[in-house]
Amino acid sequence: MKDRLRTLLVLVVLYVLRRRLPRRPPAPEHAPEPPTQRIVPAGTPEPRAELLAIGLLLFGALCAAAFVAVYVLDRLPRQTQLLGLSLGLALLSIAAALIVTGKRLVVTEELEHEYPPEEHPEEQEEIVQTVAESGSRLTRRRLFTLGLGTAGGALAVALLAPLASLGPGIDLDSFVRTPWRRGRRLVDEDGKPYRAADIEQDTFYTAFPEGADREQLASPLVVVRLPPRDLDLPRENAGYAAAGIVAFSKICTHAGCAISLYRTPLFPEAEPKPALVCPCHYSTFDPATGGTVIFGPAGRKLPMLPLRIDGRGYLRAAGNFDGPVGPSWWGVRARRPFA
């Protein structure tokens, strides 16, 4: 070990000495003649600008070092701010040094040059001629071109075809299938089933189908209770309410956000009537009329789920939604959801 260190030390000393000793001039290879005319004009020195630039560079180096230090020293308060400040200042001061260099230390030449020619008619002609003359052996030009085109097109279709595996194909059943079948219980986010008696007026609840995937678009419901005499359900939603309790898909029919606002008047004589509102574009739905749109850009009423109360007082679905859940698409009014 000691020997190795000694050898290393000797090598280092020799290396340093070699660098400091005067060198032999290199053998003249193809030493070019000194330039007769300057390409870049000479400029006057600006020592102040030089000092400024050097100062900025050094400051930048300091900041960069500070960045490394802050990075290594973990658990500093406001660590992200210190890191950003040090690296940012490092970059900005080196940038400033370069800009000073560019504006004051480097000769700013304003040169002139010709724009390249607008076009090259001779070469264009040659290209056209080359292409034209290359077909001298073809007799059925149009047919050949047609063949090439057909082959190319068919090959392109063939190469693109596997992309279809990315999607589920043209089957859109998944857009209308829901986990709500007749008799499914409504449960809360923790899986506890809702009793009809739990549902109070002037508030709202989020419900899910028991045992189903909650993230599925058709799963979440928003459930509210209205005074039965305030209900004004259309014919197609007759019987959908259970003792004044109504349930709608929680997914807005405009663009698919969750409807998490329920406005309910404390003083109905003077305040707007109860409504479900979506926070994305403020589509507003009236639960008393089966989820019709009363404000905002949604073009389709909120899908309503028929409810019933079972023998033990639990809330259950009495069927499926009266329309597909989620944003509108081509067949959304033509298909009925199924479980």
Partner 1 sequence: MSSLSRRSTLWRNRRTPVGGLTPYRTVPIRPQTSHLVAALLAVCAALLLPLAAGAAPPSKVEQGSHLYGRYCLACHGLDGSGVGAPGHTIGAGPLRVQGQQQATAPSLRGVGALAADFYLRTGYMPLRRVGDQPRRSRVFFDEGEIQAITAYIASLGRGPAIPTPQPSRGDVGQGLHLFTEHCAGCHQIVAEGGYVTGAVAPALENATDVQIAEAVRIGPYLMPRFSRQQISDRQLDSIVAYVRYAKHPDDPGGWSLGHIGPVPEGLVTWFIAAVATIGFCVVIGTRLRSR
Partner 2 sequence: MIRKLVRFLDQRTGTAPFTQKALRYLFPDHWSFLLGEVALYCFIVLVATGTYLALFYSDSTADVVYHGPYVPLQGQHMTEAYRSVLDISTSVKAGLLIRQTHHWAANVFVAAIVLHLLRIFFTGAYRKPRELTYWLGLTILMVALLEGYLGYSLVDDLLSGMGLAIGNGVALSIPFIGASLGAFIWGGPFPGSSAFFPRMYIGHVFLIPALIAVLLAAHLALVALRHHTQFRQGRETERRIVGVPTFPGQTPRSLGLLLAVAGLLVLLGGLVQINPIWLWGPFHTYSSTNGAQPDWYLGWLIGALRLMPSWDWTIGNYTLVPNPFWGGVLFPLVVFGFLYVWPLLERRFTGDRAFHNLLDRPRDAPVRTAIGFGLLTWVLLVFLAGASDRVFVFFGLSYSTQIWFFRVASFVVPVVVAFVAHRVCLELQAGERVERRRELAIGEARAEARRPLS
193/260 with CB nearer partner 2? 260
Residue 81, interface with partner 1 (CB under 8 A)?
A: yes
Q: 208 has which bridge partners?
A: 187
Residue 189: which of 201, 215, 207, 171 has the closest Cα?
207
Residue 320: which of 335, 302, 295, 338 has the closest Cα?
338
Q: x/- string (CB under 8 A) for partner 1, residues 222-251?
A: ---x-xxx-------------xx-------
Question: Considering only 20-28, 155-163, 258-266, 306-314, which stretch makes contact with partner 1 by CB under 8 A?
Answer: 258-266
Q: Which does 90 bind (CB under 5 to 8 A by kind): partner 2, partner 1, none?
A: partner 2
Question: Considering only 2-10, 17-25, 274-282, 304-312, which stretch makes contact with partner 2 by CB under 8 A?
Answer: 274-282
Q: Which does 215 bind (CB under 5 to 8 A by kind): partner 2, partner 1, none?
A: partner 2
Identify the sign of the CA torsion 280, 286, 291, 296. negative
Residue 277, interface with partner 1 (CB under 8 A)?
A: yes
Please list, in sequence order, all residues whose beta carbon lies within 8 angstroms of the beta carbon of residue 277, skipping any fewer than 6 positions away: 259, 261, 262, 263, 283, 284, 285, 296
Burial of 205 (0-12, 13-18, 19+ CB in 10 A): buried
CA gap 174, 169 in Å, rounded: 11
Residues 28-87 that bind partner 2 (CB under 8 A): 40, 71, 74, 79-85, 87
Q: How far is the CB of 297 from partner 2 (least distance, A)?
A: 5
Residues 161-190 that bind partner 2 (CB under 8 A): 166-168, 170, 172, 174-175
230/236 with CB nearer partner 2? 236
Residues 146-185 that bind partner 1 (CB under 8 A): none
Residue 333, interface with partner 2 (CB under 8 A)?
A: yes
Question: Would you state the structure tokens that stand for residue 140, as one six-digit string?
Answer: 């059925």
DSSP-assigned letters across all residues of 193-213: BPBGGG--BT-EEEEEETTS-
Cβ atoms 290, 237 nearer than 8 A? yes
Residues that bind partner 1 (CB under 8 A): 79-81, 84, 99, 102-103, 189, 198, 200-206, 225, 227-229, 243-244, 258-273, 275, 277, 279, 282, 284, 295-296
